[in-house]
Amino acid sequence: MVNAKLLYRDLCRILKARHFVLPKEATPHMLIEATAQAALIQAGDAWAKSHSAYAKHRHAAYISAEFLTGRLILNNLLNLGVLEEMKTLLAASGADITCLEEEADPALGNGGLGRLAACFLDSAASMDAPLMGYGLKYRYGLFRQKIQGLDQAEEPDEWLTSDDNWSVRREEDAVLVPLKDFCVKAVPYDMPVFGYKTDTVGTLRLWQTESLHEFDFALFNDYKYDEASLNKNRAEDITRVLYPNDWDDKGRLLRLRQEYVLSSATMQDLIRLHEKSGRSLRQLPHFLAVQLNDTHPVLAIPELIRLLTQKGVSFDYACRMAQETFAFTNHTVMPEALEKWSMQLIGMLSDEISAILKRLDKRAKRQCGLALIKDGRVSMADLAVYMSFSVNGVARIHSELVKTRLFPDWYKLFPERFNNKTNGVTQRRWLALCNPELTALLQSKADGDCIKDLGCLSGIKPDAQLAKALLQVKRLKKQQLSAWLKLTQGVDIPDSFIFDIQIKRIHEYKRQLLNALGIYDLYMDVKDGKLKDLPPVAFLIGGKAAPGYARAKAVIRYVNSLAQLINNDTSVNGKIRVCFVNNYCCSAAEKLIPAADLSEQISTAGTEASGTGNMKLMMNGAVTLGTWDGANIEIAQAAGEENEFIFGARIEELDAIADSYDPMALYEKDARLRRAVDSLTDAGFPDEDGALKELKTSLLEGASWHKPDHYYVLKDFESYRDARLQALRLYRNDPAAFSMMALKNVLASGIFSSDRTIAQYCEEIWKI
């Protein structure tokens, strides 16, 4: 916690010294930069203290390829306890705090997995837990999504051009990472993670790769300009983008190098910290736990073994030390996301790592009768499970699937390793920051500070008056969102409409297509006069599609086509509006979530590991329209099943029909379903390359790699329609009852704070 007046004084001094201006004369970027610098000065002592305390006692490191932090400036001011006062001070000086919203979101992540990592750091710092985050500092991150015509186009996300105000380069902690045919320098950039209402400041350490030999003067002199910078580019390419295209071996090698640099630089750093505290190497597992966030950082295991053996530890002992140090989190049941690297590629990365992996494979076969390398490819997930003391899934149902479907052989051998840690989200960003109006309302009823301890919410009585107040807050947030949509997306969404929102990465298993087909179905019924009692409803869908994922991109085309058709049809646009929200990211989420009435969580049962978007929406008073999947189950159990709209086949039912499922029969039998599916090809939507047609084929005929409709869109179509109509009608007929359901969700959301999750990691896994 810092003093706002002192922070403001420094801010003024910095503006004057650097730009000769007063706050009211500063551009947004000047103001953002000076505020960040002033905050770093004011919190400098606290950060230094936390940093030097980190390795004194047992501590944990969280390695992740992604940290989706979201915009930092307002959250940092909130956590430092000065947001309100800074607002007042800036207003008094004639500057406007809302211009701080021009700070770019750091492009350091992709979706839920990266956002979870960011929530965890926030919670750990707020609870004074010694946790350090390790990641990579991507120059361009993922991509910025543009809509060209009806389709997604990708542009580089140049977030670093002016807004890297929160990282501190620590040249003195740079390390060398040996690759097969060259060596790169990894330089850490540290970002502070301010705890809420505490002096603890955590650290997110992001590695940037650089060349040891920036520039070849002789080549340059010899007019070979491109060759002169070859080394520089080759090194810097490694942290240029998040998830480089991996269609060919060149791209795959680049990804592998990224993962190795992250793993190696981090393990070198942790060993150095340990040795600096004057302890013997062999004590490392007593002082350090390393959490591997999915398989991307799993090379940290052979790398630790390499570093230990280099320092004289025997291979076997190093293996035991590694197994006592690492813990692994699995995030997905999608087989394509469980990384397997060919040993040939590993050979191109590093001979030493290749040799260690082969020895580990032999050891696993000898000890457990299970292989790590199959058909010449090493399975990173199997390696992680074999060499970790803890393996966890991220929601109750998912952790069961981890045991029974993903790693049944390992589970038989080491049942004690397997555990569940249901995800959570930080209420600092996802309540206090994005919804101060609801926060104030709850705070007026709560016993204690719910932003420090979200558990306070369970003590609030859900009465009719509070439900009414929630409805008013909702309306206000819808007005704000509506204005933002008009400004940024150019669409009109009246705030009197029900807001039905699905925001997440576009993926077949998340079934945005089910949502879109359902919208078409409702549209046609309204148009034909068959659905006279539909209350005005706006369908908002947002999310990025992976650049190489044709079907996900086709879904975006279909949603945009629906939007164009429906929003321009004056016979229905008083009842239905559709909006594809461009460039979904944290900052967009912060606008969308508080305004949602219905939270679309419609993944095929058994496919969404947990979901965290569902938790953010619940916390902000949206009712879940969802399947019995991931954390939806725990959300429904916490708030009461009668307070959600649950639909669709459950996992047991899908298992039972898997072999006999015949979507074509459903299509032929059900005219309504046929009308919706046929709209992909027959509604006159532009489809030059046949991507919409291919979506239809995927549902009815399948493809070489899957059976027809492998995510059961057609199967759940009818029950989805029924559940959605039931929700919309309840809102229309009895808004007070709907709002009471929403309120019960808010008040039950305490257990979905990432503070609860982190407390469990600390106690049950890290022992810190």
Ligand X SMILES: *Cc1c(COP(=O)(O)O)cnc(C)c1O
DSSP 488-499: HH-----TTSEE
DSSP 442-467: HHHH-SS-TTT-GGGGGGS---HHHH
What pairs with residue 60 in β-bridges? 131, 289
From first CA to last CA, the distance across the chain in angstroms is 23
CB of residue 132 vs ligand X: minimum separation in angstroms? 22
CB of residue 544 vs ligand X: minimum separation in angstroms? 9
8 Å CB contact between 59 and 99: no
| Core vs surface per residue 731-747: b (16+ CB within 10 A) or e | beeebeebbbbbbbbbb
CB of residue 152 vs ligand X: minimum separation in angstroms? 16
Tokens of 338: 């469980």
Residues 603-622 that bind ligand X (CB under 6 A): 611-613, 616
With respect to ligand X, which residue has the nearer C-beta, 111 or 462? 111
Site string for ligand X, 105-134 (x = CB under 6 A): ------xx--x-------------------
CB of residue 85 vs ligand X: minimum separation in angstroms? 28
CB of residue 104 vs ligand X: minimum separation in angstroms? 14
CB of residue 115 vs ligand X: minimum separation in angstroms? 4
Residue 504 binding ligand X, by CB under 6 A:
yes
With respect to ligand X, which residue has the nearer C-beta, 417 or 616? 616
DSSP three-state, residue 391: strand
State whether the Cα torsion 489-495-500-504 is positive or negative.
Answer: positive
Site string for ligand X, 533-562 (x = CB under 6 A): ------------------------------
Please give the backbone phi and psi of residue 519, each rounded to the nearest 5 degrees, phi first: -65, -45
With respect to ligand X, which residue has the nearer C-beta, 130 or 613? 613
Residue nearest to ligand X (CB): 613
* DSSP strands (E only) in 394-543: 418-420, 498-503, 537-542
With respect to ligand X, which residue has the nearer C-beta, 188 or 613? 613
Site string for ligand X, 446-485 (x = CB under 6 A): ----------------------------------------
DSSP 545-614: --TT-HHHHHHHHHHHHHHHHHHT-TTTTTTEEEEEESS--HHHHHHHGGG-SEEEE-PPTTT-S--SHH
With respect to ligand X, which residue has the nearer C-beta, 42 or 79? 79
With respect to ligand X, which residue has the nearer C-beta, 115 or 137? 115
- CA dist 502 and 59 (Å) reads 38
- CA dist 37 and 19 (Å) reads 14
CB of residue 598 vs ligand X: minimum separation in angstroms? 14
Contacts with ligand X by CB under 6 A: the residue count is: 11
- Report the Cα 648 to chain-centroid distance in Å: 26
- CA dist 184 and 235 (Å) reads 6
8 Å CB contact between 172 and 194: no
- Positions annotated as catalytic residues are 331, 504-505, 510, 612, 616
CB of residue 610 vs ligand X: minimum separation in angstroms? 7
Residues 265-284 that bind ligand X (CB under 6 A): none
Please give the backbone phi and psi of residue 270, each rounded to the nearest 5 degrees, phi first: -70, -40
With respect to ligand X, which residue has the nearer C-beta, 308 or 585? 585
Site string for ligand X, 562-601 (x = CB under 6 A): -----------------------xx--x------------
With respect to ligand X, which residue has the nearer C-beta, 289 or 516? 516
What pairs with residue 341 in β-bridges? 378
Interface contacts to ligand X, rule CB under 6 A: 111-112, 115, 504, 585-586, 589, 611-613, 616
